[in-house]
A and B are shown apart, each in its own frame.
Chain A
Amino acid sequence: MDDLLEEFIAETAEMLETLSGQLIDWEKDPSDLALIDSVFRFVHTVKGSCGFLDLPRLEKLSHAAEDVLGAAREGTLKASQDLVTAILAVVDRIGELNMALGSGNSVRDDDDELIARMLAFLPDRSKETADADQDQPGGSGSQSFENSIEQEAVPPSFAKARTVRVSLQLLDELMSGVSDLVLSRNEVSRQLRTSGNESEIGPSFSRLSLIVADIRDSISQMRMQNIDRLFSTLPRLMRDISLELDKKTELRISGSQVEIDREMVEALRDPLTHILRNAVDHGIESEADRIAAGKDPEGLITVCARQSGNQILIEIADDGRGIDLDALRRKAIAGRVITLEDWAKLPEDSQLTMIFEPGITTAPEVTSISGRGVGMDVVRSNIQSIGGNIDLENCLGQGLKITLRLPLTLSIIAGLSVEVCRQVYGLSRNSVEEIISVSSSSVKIEQVGGVKVASIRGNRFPYSRLEDLLGIDGATESLSRTLVVIKPAVGSRFALDVERVIDHEELVVKPGSPLVMQSGLYSGVSLPDNGRPMLLLDASGLASAIGCGQETVRSDTTDADSGELDSVAPKGDSALLFENLAGRKQAVRLAAIDRMEEASAKQVRDVGGKLRVAIGDDLFELVGIDKVPEEGTLQILRISDGLEQKCMAVGEIIDMFTLEGKIEPSADPDRHEGVVEALGEHVELINILRYFGNSALGDHSRQGEEALCFIAAPDNNGWERGILGPLLATAGYRVSYDPADSDQAAVILGRADDKTIPDKEPRAIRLREAMQSNDVDAGSIYRHDRTGLLAAIEDKIAGAR
């Protein structure tokens, strides 16, 4: 409420400010209708907000003024100098009260007198209204302080002005100014290094760097805006669409506290509108159809925002009919977007992305709201323009879930610099899925029908060398080249062959000039530390240059039971095989690794009871090592649980592999998730949660009683006991595998196909194998989606209370 009140005070003060000039004009020419209108609008707005905020005094004043001004507008009351004076007295009082609200002072209460004086001008109602007002003692509740003391001429004070409004343009200028500041700092740093004078200027320069970094952080925060700003308009939008289409819908919004970049709020407005419209129009069935399908007659659309690592996820899910791929195919072929042959070659999830093609709609008929086939392509281009991704999760008959993945900020991105022909290019790390050496045994590059294909651990990707895409030559033929697997905004992964990957760095993105951007290959320019400009490659642009508009990932290993609904075998998680410092081979999930780097022994210190390593300006806790090494360099994996980063020292990094087959349970699930087969050997898969045991995930345990989770693990399945159980235990839940406990458990977890859990069990959370859900396992959660799973458990427990 406080925020609202503050907003109201600021708004009213601002309106009064702009109004003051007009008030004076009005005094000069009382008959000017335009001026009456603007004064009327002002009191009307104040009145509206007051009723909502429970400010009776202001409400009464504005209400009376509105009556009089309304009459003047209609012409039943002739505006005269005296009337204007009376109204102005009321407007002034509104201003005083408003200021008093802000500063906490009181204002003498002779409002009734002012009102009566004004209402006297009203031809017939004047007497009664004034009397009625007299009967009600003014001011109560939150405004009582106003009545407390009668004070004459309290000097106005602005004690509580804690916010200022700044024009967006000014803010933008400030932001770009700070970006420039960062870049100049980088340039100075470079010049310092070359001049060799570092020792003298060093300390002052590092102080300057710190300040610049602080300012940059504040500016980034300034850019941030509560996503609620975007979401708050949705209920109204839904209401209008639902009324128009005569469908009953319910909108549930969660995660309104997530903060996103201000520009992103604007860029998301249209896409969200389109998605919601589509959901109501195409997704949600008519009431009769819903009842026939055994669904709640009221359609449910949920919009949920959450932050995951350095991405913001916005999920829009409906429980409608989902996308009928057959219908989509017919439309796509009729619309000449694709031929039947090509369609048949596409895996299901790429077929789905067809809805983003211009001219495609699955709506049987065009309505006033959607179905014209524009919309989803707008959605995609808007999301792409801010560096985001769209994932679709379709479930025929059960609904569609659209996930928008967005970068946290727009102007500063985590970048990866790559080199080819002695030229350096940047890539957004968000779109990079994997980096692997060409000479690795799991990589094979083959020529098929005139195009090259990279096969990485059985997955085939369209392949191209960066120099070929850019049309430059002079590349060296060497075995040390590197493949970067890139996932652009929608579907369609590909492998980009570069001479070498240079570095991870934060890049300030600047727009490039149209002459450079016209190729579509670049997303902007940046000036990194070394002072040489760097062009940033655009993932989607590269994809279309390679000519892989569609996903062509295939799995070598065709499942024997391919009769199942999900024809695309889910890709197993990847893990990294390494030798620890003791020379023992171990594995760690790739998803847990943020980056790999080297650190010298000098960077490692034993401070504050823990070993820590200083990387750049940051200090990380170092695990996997007992004492400070004497000399040499350390290989370090920067691991993260999504919230916090730590460093793990390792001996040697061997290779990446896909987690396939069974994970054998470990005797010590706290330390190891289990034993897995990695490139022909059996190694321990490290449970990284043990390093984050006391991080935010553990907070649940301090929230009073620990909820009991029963995990249905009928056949001693390794995953449930080896991973899920420890995960929940770390998150602060009690875990039981004993069916006897299932009655008192708050949550029951089981595989989607587990028949031991009753269908209508409200406590059940079902876990499925595939990323994409199908109609058999609707409502289930992908079992490696840890955040989603923990959120679902929270929901269940909250629901049970």
Chain B
Amino acid sequence: MSGLYLLARIADEPVAIASDDVESVVKISDIVAAPQSHPSVAGVFALRSRVLTLVDCNYLVTGRRLELHPGSTAIIGQVCGHSYGFLVDGVDDVVSLEPENSGFDIVVSEPWQKFVRGFTVLEDQTVMIVDIAKLVRSEETAAA
């Protein structure tokens, strides 16, 4: 599936996210804590009169919370009718990519396995293609 991809960094690793899944990229300044939620949830925040759940992608991979600072970047996307913000280290670019399904027999480490749906090569660097729906759904099933 070729198309536009958003290049971002999660836990210091470059990832690509299909731009079809991305509604927008926003700076998060103010969040409201949601105690007792899933640990990957950093909190909820308001965006244009909607209330979104902020998922800490860093936590999903490393188990460590990302420190929220002014200018923290989140990728906004919808999964199963709910809007989420995905907190990432940063967003770099939007590029047109051709995912390469064959020729990669890489098995990535445990936490990544759940989110990665393919790989691509960008200027000689291997980039994982992350499915944002899986960022949410793998956690839902784990919780159930």
Contact = CB atoms under 8 A, between A and B. Distances in A.
Q: Do these two chains really belong together in a complex?
A: yes
A510 B51 contact: yes
A180 B53 CA distance: 17
Given A423-B33, A514-B82, A516-B37, A535 B55 contact: no
Contacts of B32: 423-424, 532-535
Interface string B50-65: 1111010000000000
A518 B139 CA distance: 11
A527 B53 contact: no
A186 B49 CA distance: 9
B36 A533 contact: no
A514 B51 contact: no
Contacts of A358: none
Interface in B30-51: 30, 32-38, 40-41, 44-46, 48-51
A728 B74 CA distance: 64
B46 A516 contact: no
Contact of B35 (A471, A510, A526, A533): A471
Contacts of A516: 34, 37-38, 41, 44, 53
Interface in B72-131: 80, 82-84
Contacts of B36: 469-471, 519, 521
Given A423-B32, A527-B51, A535-B32, A513 B82 contact: yes
A793 interface: no
Task: Assign chain B's interface to a size class.
Answer: 20 to 34
Contact of B82 (A180, A511, A522): A511
A515 B35 contact: no
The secondary structure that dominates the A interface is mixed
B17 interface: no
A255 interface: no
A184 interface: yes
Contacts of B46: 187, 527, 531-533
Contacts of B45: 533
B36 to A, nearest CB: 4
Contacts of B83: 513
Contact of B38 (A469, A511, A518, A531): A518
Interface in A502-525: 510-516, 518-519, 521-522, 525
Contacts of A531: 46
B18 interface: no
Interface string A176-203: 0000100110110000000000000000
A472 B50 contact: no
Nearest to B32: A533
Contact of A533 (B38, B44, B48, B136): B44
Contacts of B80: 514
A342 to B, nearest CB: 27
Contact of A472 (B35, B48, B52, B53): B35
B84 to A, nearest CB: 6
A513 B84 CA distance: 8
B49 A513 contact: no
B13 interface: no
B140 interface: yes
A514 B37 CA distance: 9
A19 B51 CA distance: 44
B1 interface: no
A527 B44 CA distance: 11
Interface in B9-32: 30, 32
Nearest to B83: A513
B44 A515 contact: no
B49 A515 contact: no
A515 B54 CA distance: 10
A183 B38 contact: no
A423 B43 CA distance: 12
A687 B12 CA distance: 70
A511 to B, nearest CB: 7
Nearest to A179: B49
A515 B140 contact: yes
Nearest to B136: A515
A180 B55 contact: no
A686 to B, nearest CB: 42
A180 B143 contact: no
B51 A515 contact: no
A515 B38 contact: yes
Contacts of B136: 513-515
B74 to A, nearest CB: 14
Contacts of A423: 32-33, 35
B18 to A, nearest CB: 20
A535 B32 CA distance: 9
Contacts of B55: 515
A423 B50 CA distance: 19
Contact of B139 (A515, A519, A526, A535): A515
Contact of B44 (A187, A470, A472, A535): A535
B44 A514 contact: no
A18 to B, nearest CB: 30
Contacts of B140: 514-515, 518
Nearest to B36: A519
Which of B45, B82, B139, B140: most chain A Cβ within 10 A? B82
Contact of A512 (B48, B53, B143): B53
A183 B52 CA distance: 14
Contacts of A510: 50-51
A724 to B, nearest CB: 49
A519 B37 contact: yes
A515 B41 contact: yes
Which of A184, A187, A513: most chain B Cβ within 10 A? A513
18 contacts: A180-B49, A187-B46, A187-B49, A423-B35, A472-B35, A510-B50, A513-B52, A513-B83, A514-B136, A515-B40, A515-B143, A516-B38, A516-B53, A525-B44, A527-B50, A533-B45, A533-B46, A535-B32
User: Which 4 pairs between the two chains have the least Cβ-Cβ distance?
Assistant: A183-B49, A470-B35, A519-B36, A513-B53
Interface of B: 30, 32-38, 40-41, 44-46, 48-53, 55, 80, 82-84, 136, 139-140, 143
Given A423-B35, A510-B51, A514-B82, 6 more contacts: A180-B50, A183-B50, A423-B32, A510-B50, A513-B53, A516-B37
